[in-house]
Structures are given as C-alpha cells and as structure tokens.
Copies of this chain bind each other. A is one copy, B any other.
Amino acid sequence: MLVHTDYLLFNTRKKQEFVRITDEVAAIVKASGVADGIALVSAMHITSGVYVNDWEEGLIHDFQVWLEQLAPAGLAYKHHQTGEDNADAHLKRTIMGHQVVLPITRGALDLGPWEQVFYAEFDGQRKKRVVVKVMGQ
C-alpha cells in the first residue's frame, strides 16, 4: 500500500477566483506511484472549496452569480461581530463543497470527459493550502 501527501499553495490576486487544478493534482498522482486507488483533494481553509465541474468561463461566471444570490456578501451576519467580514465566503464554500475524492485507474485520474478539478477561492489575496492525499497500490 502506498500513501503519498502533497500540498498545493494559492495566493489569488482577486478575493474570489476559481482556479483549475486538474493538471497539478494529476502530477501529484503520477509522483505518488499509485496506479490504482484514490486521491483526496481538500481545502485546508474554511473560506475556500474544491469541486469538479466544467472548464467553461461562462459557467464559472454563472456559478459566481448564483452563489452571490444564495449567499450574499455584506449582510448583517452575526459572524461579523467578531471583526470578520467574510461570513458569505463560509456559506459559498459550503454550497460548492470543500473536497473531492478522485479515482485513480491505470496510473491516472479516472475522470469523465468533461470533469475538471477546481479550487474555489472566496476570501483570497492571502496564502491558502489544499492537501492532496493519494492512497492505493
């Protein structure tokens, strides 16, 4: 059994930014030597997410507009009484999910034709990490 761990680092220019990470995760899987197993890809910060969906700029825009409707910034959130101003980022990342588990088959990510892995930053412009834990044989 092989277990391999690596971390992806982010420091986005914009406060909210979706970053495709499929290739970075695939490279970690390759380095792990795991031919058959899984890769956990999980945000280590609670105002960002990791999700699988389409690599299409229009849809990414739609996601961001939609999340703003479901979990608007700037409301009188109780969390803001602590001095924070990012309650909406916690909610948005909950909708998108904060982690995915990717299957690995024959030494590569076993993804469908349009599946792409994204890091979703909702409170960026500072250092964030994603852990990638690869397990298998």
Interface residues of A (CB under 8 A from B): 1, 3, 5, 36-38, 40, 42-46, 51-54, 56-59, 61-63, 66, 70-71, 77-82, 87, 90-91, 94-103, 105, 110-115, 129, 131, 133, 135-137
Contact B3–A37 (Cβ < 8 Å): yes
Interface of A is mostly: mixed
- Supply 5 further A-B pairs (C-beta < 8 A) apart from A45-B114, A63-B91, A110-B133: A42-B102, A57-B78, A58-B81, A59-B77, A62-B90
Which of B1, B51, B66, B99 has a CB less than 8 Å from the CB of A100?
A: B99
Chain B positions within 8 Å of A80 at CB level: 58
Q: Which residue of B lies closest to A44 (CB)?
A: B112
- B111 near A87 with CB under 8 A, answer no
In order of increasing CB-CB distance, the 7 nearest A-B pairs are: A44-B112, A58-B78, A59-B79, A103-B133, A58-B79, A3-B36, A1-B1
